[in-house]
Structure 1
Amino acid sequence: MEQGENSATAAIFQVLADDHSRRILLAADREPKSAKELSEICGVSLATIYRRVSTLETHGLVEDLSSVDSDGSHRRKYETTLEELHAEVSNGELELSIETRDELADNFSSLWTNLREDL
């Protein structure tokens, strides 16, 4: 994902400037976490977690991993998808590029497919 200096870029910077959002990204990076786990780790209310997770999801920085237990109860866990973020100032413009885990997986799959075709 590449974005020039526009409202989407400004929104990403604004999201990352928020302490709670950054803590959620870091907490959900190693393994998916429930909202309750994120609330405990980040030391904020569940309402704050849900608001920030919603914003992070909107910008593609967090993914909702929903599952159904054997008893029929629904479980939601959240996982950080942000892998790399690069900001570049060039020719008077600010450019932001974001790599998510999904994009990296797609790149790896393409590379593997190309290697197999070459064999």
Structure 2
Amino acid sequence: MRAPFESDAAPDLQDVLDALEDEGCRAIIEALDEPLTAKEISEKSGVPMSTTYRKLDLLTDAALLEERAVLQQDGHHTTEYEVAFEEVVIQLDEDRTLDVGIQRPPASKDERLETLWAEVSKET
């Protein structure tokens, strides 16, 4: 499982550009108004299921989507994806090289607690 929120480091510029240039990736981002499974994303975005997982990999590698396991009532788990940014900015830094900045949505109380618990667990 990938967790783009674990680090404040910006993702690779080329990964972000590749994902945003891809029509299927953009369709997936537009379809994700709530957390969805890959199957739901495929149906809602019109991206074929055979292509959806590759597009999801591109988007998570670029830290534009968050992927998380969700426990179901029957004891199994499924993976859901959600948009992990509010704004993407491509800018020229002081060395005149392109840089990417991603503004993340504010963390919910549950996410802050989960992050705090993960940090405490690492310390013990």
| TM-score of the superposed pair, with normalisation by structure 2 | 0.68
Please say if residues 35 and 81 of structure 2, whose CA atoms lie closer than 8 Å, have aligned partners that are also in contact: yes
- Tell me the percent identity: 30
Unaligned runs of 5+ in 1: 110-119
Cα deviation per residue 1:28-48 (whole Å; 9 max; x = unaligned)? 1x2101111111122122121
Kindly indicate whether the alpha-carbon contact (under 8 Å) linking 1:2 and 1:95 is maintained by their aligned counterparts in 2.
no
User: How many residue pairs align between the two structures?
Assistant: 101
Which of 101, 107, 114 is 1:97 aligned to? 101
Runs of 4+ in 1 over 6 A off after TM superposition: none
Inter-partner Cα distance in structure 2 for 1:61 and 1:50: 14
TM-score between both structures, scaled by the size of structure 1 = 0.71
**Aligned-residue RMSD, C-alpha:** 2.4
Q: Match of 2:12? A: 8
- Matches of 2:101 and 2:67, distance apart in 1: 22
Measure how far apart 1:11 and its partner are: 2.3
Q: After TM superposition, give the deviation of residue 79 of structure 1 in Å.
A: 0.4
Partner of 1:26: 30
- The structure having more radius of gyration, on CA atoms, is 1
What is the alpha-carbon distance in structure 1 between the residues aligned to residue 97 and residue 72 of structure 2? Answer: 49
Aligned partners of 1:67 and 1:59: how far apart in 2?
Answer: 22
Aligned with 2:46 (options 35, 43, 54): 43
Name structure 2 gaps, 5 residues minimum. Answer: 1-7, 113-124
Q: What CA distance in whole angstroms lies between the structure 2 residues aligned with 1:72 and 1:99? A: 35
